[in-house]
Structure 1
Amino acid sequence: MTAHAKPHFQPKKSALTFAFSLLTAGLFQIAPAYAEETDTEATESSKPTFNIGGAVRVNYGIEDYNQASKDRHGDLDLELLRLDIDGSYEDWYLDARYSFYRGQDFDTVNFAFIGFNVDPNNQVEVGIIPVPFGAEPYIGNSFWFSGAYYLGFEDDSDAGIKWKHKGDDYTFDLAYFHQSEYASSDFNRYSFDVADETVGEEGGYYTVGDGTNLAANEEAGQINARFIKNFDNFNVGVSGEFGRIYNNNNAETADRYALALHSEAKFGLWTVKAEGIQYEYDETEDIGTQDGTIALSGFKYAADIASKGRVGILNISREIPINNRFIDSATCYNDFTHIKGTSNNDLGNDESMQNVTGCMLAKGGIYTYIDVIAGKNMYFVGGSGIGTQGADDWDTRFNLNIGWYF
C-alpha cells in the first residue's frame, strides 16, 4: 500500500472559529419556533427527573506474551466500579459517566454533558461529549472494541459542543471540540488522545524511536461531521475530522485530519459491520512528528502510533437466543482490524493487526464477555505501538469479564 497525497485543507484557527460560529448561529435560528409551540401546549411545568446507575465488573485475563502472567496462571481482579447519572427537566437533560478502574488503579470521566432538545429532531449538547466519528455508537462487538479505539477513532469523548439532527431516514452530527477531556500530560483517561511525551517514563510513555523528538503536544481545536443514511436493513455513513495540534515547547501548530466510510447491515440474526479510515498528522519538526510517529495516551500509558495510516475493519456477529435461567441470549463475533502505517519515515511505516473472537452472554443487566484477542505489532496485545516498527509475531491473551450494569 502507498501513502495518499496530503489534502489541501489546512484548518487554521480562524476556520475553526468560523465553524463554531456557524454551528451556534444555526442552532439559535431553529430554537424560536419550537419554543413558541411548546409554551402554548404546556399546561404545567414538568418535574425534574434524576437517575443513578452504574456497573460492577470482575475480570480474569492471562497473556501468553507475559511470563509473569503465565506464572501466576492469569490475573483476577475487581476491574471496574462505574457511576452513571442522567436527568432531565423540561427540554434540558444531562448525561454523565465516571469510572473507577481498580485493576489499573486510576479513575476517569467517560463523558459528562448537558443537552437541550431544540425540537423533536434537533439536540444541542455541551460538555465532554462523545465524538461523532465512525459507526454509531461504535463499531466493535467485543470487550476490547476495534483497533480504531486505540487510535482515538472509536468511543472517544472530548470537550466541546455538538448539534445532533435526526431526519426521517438519516442522522447528521456537527461538532466543535476545543480540546481533549484532560490535559495532554494526564494519561489517566478512558479514551485515547494526543499525549505530552515530555512527561517521560514516570508517566508511562513508551517510544519506538530514539527518544529525541519528544514533544509536549496537545489537541487544540477540532471539527467533526458525520452523516448516516438508513435503509431497510443496513446503513451507510461518512465521517470527517479536522483539527490542530499545538506544541507547548515552541508554540508551533500543525494540522491533522481523518476520514471514514462505515456501514452496518443486518441479515436476520447476523450483523456485519465494516469501516475504512484514512488519517494523517502533519509530519513536521514543529510538533516532533518528523520521525513518522506521534504519541497517544489512554489507561495510564502512552505509546507511539504512525502519524499517517489507513485502517480497515470487518466485524461479523450472530445473535443466538437461549432464554433459560442462566442466559437470555448470546452474541458471538469475530472482529478484525488491519492498520497500515503510511508515514514517509520507516519508524511510522509498518502494519498492525488485531483479531478478537468471542461471545457476549446476556442475562438481564448481567453481561459476560469471553474473548480471545490476538495482536500483531499491536499496542495492548504485546506491541509497543500501532502502525510503527515492531515485532512480527502474533501475541494472544484470553479474557473473561463479568459485569452487572444497573
Structure 2
Amino acid sequence: MHKLLLLTVAFLTSMQCFAQAPEDNPEDKPTLKVGGALRFNYNLSTWKEDQLERGGDFGYDIFRVNVEAAYKGIKLNAEYRHYAEGFGGGMLKQGWFQYDFSDASQIQVGLNQVPFGIQQYNSNNWFFNMTYYVGFEDDHDMGVKYIRDTGLWKWQAAYYKSAEDLVFSAAEASPNRYSYDITGRNKENNQLDFKIVRRMGDSLAHELGISAQGGLLYNLDTEENGTRYAAAVHYEYKTPSNPWNVKLQAMLYRFNPKYANGNDLDFVEMGAYGANYNVASKGEIYTAGISYHIPLETRLLQGIDIYNNYGYYNKRVSGYENSHINVLGALFTAGPMYIYTDAAFGYNQPWLGPEWTNAFTTGTAGETDWHMRFNINFGYYF
C-alpha cells in the first residue's frame, strides 16, 4: 500500500510538471511553401507583316517556382523563372532572407524589390507601365532593406551594393535578368533608397508617397564613378471594399556616367530579358492607371478586372523624341488561372514597335507611328 501511494504521488507530480511545461515555440518548427506558375502567350503585332499573315503566334512564356520558408524566426522568399532562351532563359527574379523585429518592422537581405514609386506594380496589365522599361517599376537589386509599417505610415530605407550581377568581375553586366538595369559599359553600385507613405481615409484607402534614390555608376573604360539619382511622388486609391483602383505617379531621373573624353553620350544602355537598348540620360515619366473589378459567381469565372494604363516619357535631351504607352485590357480570373487580354499601344516604345535600339532615345527621326500589340497571356498559378 505504501509503495502504491508513492507511485501515485510520483505519477501525479509528473503529470503536473508536464501540464506546466511551456508549449513548443512555433518558430522552432520549420515551414515550407512551394508554388509557381506556367504561362503561355498569344500575340499579334501590327508592325510585323509576317505575323499578320500567320494570324499571330502562340507559344511558351514562362515557368516559375516560388518558395517561402521559415525556421527559428528567419524567413526565406525566392522566385526562380525560366523563360525561352531568346528572352534570357533562367533567372532569379527575387530572393531574400528576412527577419521580423515585430509585426510592424522587418529587414530583408538579398535580391529584393527596390522601394521606389507605387508598389508592387505601377500598373494593372501584363505589360507593366513605362516606368518598368526604364528600371523604376518592380526593380530588384542586391542589398539590404528595412521596412516599418504602422498602418497610417509606412517607410522603407535600403542600401544596394549592385544590381543583379551574375559575374564578380569588371565585365559588362549581362542583360539576362528580370528587371531593367543599366548595363553595357556602366555598372550600378552603392545605391541608397528612401520611401515614405502616408495612408488616409476611414479605411486607409488613399495613399500618398514620396520616393528618393541616389547611387553611383562605375564606367568600365575610365574606371571612374559617375552618379545617378531619381525622385517620385505618387497617389494610389485601393481598398478591398471598393472595386475601383487608381494609380497616379510623376518622377524624374538623371544618369551621369563618367564616359571617356570625346565619348560623352546622352544615353546609357539598359538591359533585361536577354537584350539591351539605349535610354536617354535624363527625363521625366508620368503615369496614370485605373481599373474596375467585376465580381462573378459562375462555375468558370470568379471575376473580371477592366483597366487602362497610360505612360508618358519626356526625354530631356535635345533631338530625342518622347515616348508613350497605353494598355487597354481586362484580366479574367478562373480558379487558378489568370488570363490577361491586352491591346497595348506604343509610340517610340521598343517592345511596341519596329525600332528597338533607339526607341528610348532619338526614336525614328520624326517618322514614328503608333503601333499596337494584341496580347493574351494564359497563366496557371499553383
Deviation at 1:182, TM superposition (A): 2.3
Choose the corresponding residue for 2:178, options 190, 196, 217: 190
Whether the 8 Å CA contact 1:91–1:118 is kept in 2: the answer is no
The one-letter code sitting in structure 2 at the alignment partner of 1:402 is: F
Choose the corresponding residue for 1:84, options 55, 66, 73: 66
Tell me what 1:381 maps to. 352
Tell me what 2:199 maps to. 230
Number of equivalences:
344
Deviation at 1:117, TM superposition (A): 0.8
Tell me what 1:139 maps to. 122
Change (3 A) 1:168 1:322: closer
Whether the 8 Å CA contact 2:219–2:257 is kept in 1: the answer is no
Q: Scaled by the length of structure 1, what TM-score is found? A: 0.81
Deviates more, 1:177-186 or 1:137-146: 177-186
Written as runs of structure 1 = structure 2, the 5 A alignment for 1:197-216 is: 216=185
The one-letter code sitting in structure 2 at the alignment partner of 1:219 is: E
Tell me what 1:59 maps to. 41
| 2:243 is equivalent to residue 263 of structure 1 | no
Tell me what 1:220 maps to. 189
Measured in 1, the distance between the counterparts of 2:182 and 2:321 equals 20
The DSSP-based 3-state class of the residue aligned with 1:148 is helix
Whether the 8 Å CA contact 1:375–1:396 is kept in 2: the answer is yes
Tell me what 1:115 maps to. 98
Q: Which runs of 4+ in 1 moved over 2 A?
A: 41-46, 102-105, 182-185, 283-291, 383-387
Change (3 A) 1:287 1:74: farther
Measured in 1, the distance between the counterparts of 2:217 and 2:245 equals 37
Whether the 8 Å CA contact 2:160–2:192 is kept in 1: the answer is yes
The DSSP-based 3-state class of the residue aligned with 2:132 is helix
Choose the corresponding residue for 1:321, options 295, 318, 336: 295
Deviates more, 1:274-283 or 1:305-314: 274-283
Answer with 1 or 2: which has the greater Rg.
2
Runs of 5+ unmatched residues, structure 1: 1-40, 197-215
Q: Scaled by the length of structure 2, what TM-score is found? A: 0.86
Whether the 8 Å CA contact 1:283–1:292 is kept in 2: the answer is no
| 2:373 is equivalent to residue 394 of structure 1 | no
Written as runs of structure 1 = structure 2, the 5 A alignment for 1:332-347 is: 332-343=306-317, 345-346=318-319
1:293-315 superposed Cα distances (whole Å, 9 cap, x missing partner): 11100111110111100000010
Change (3 A) 1:118 1:293: same
Q: CA RMSD in A?
A: 1.8
Deviates more, 1:301-310 or 1:181-190: 181-190
Deviation at 1:139, TM superposition (A): 1.1
Change (3 A) 1:252 1:400: same
| 2:282 is equivalent to residue 308 of structure 1 | yes
The one-letter code sitting in structure 1 at the alignment partner of 2:327 is: V
Measured in 2, the distance between the counterparts of 1:243 and 1:289 equals 22
Deviation at 1:73, TM superposition (A): 1.7
Deviates more, 1:139-148 or 1:161-170: 161-170
Measured in 2, the distance between the counterparts of 1:287 and 1:324 equals 66
The one-letter code sitting in structure 1 at the alignment partner of 2:73 is: D
Measured in 1, the distance between the counterparts of 2:117 and 2:98 equals 22
1:168-212 superposed Cα distances (whole Å, 9 cap, x missing partner): 31111100000011245311111000011xxxxxxxxxxxxxxxx
The DSSP-based 3-state class of the residue aligned with 2:28 is coil
Tell me what 1:37 maps to. none
Measured in 2, the distance between the counterparts of 1:104 and 1:400 equals 19
Measured in 1, the distance between the counterparts of 2:262 and 2:159 equals 25
Choose the corresponding residue for 1:48, options 26, 30, 46: 30
Measured in 1, the distance between the counterparts of 2:75 and 2:280 equals 39
The one-letter code sitting in structure 1 at the alignment partner of 2:186 is: N
Change (3 A) 1:289 1:255: farther
Choose the corresponding residue for 1:354, options 311, 315, 325: 325
Choose the corresponding residue for 1:127, options 110, 118, 138: 110
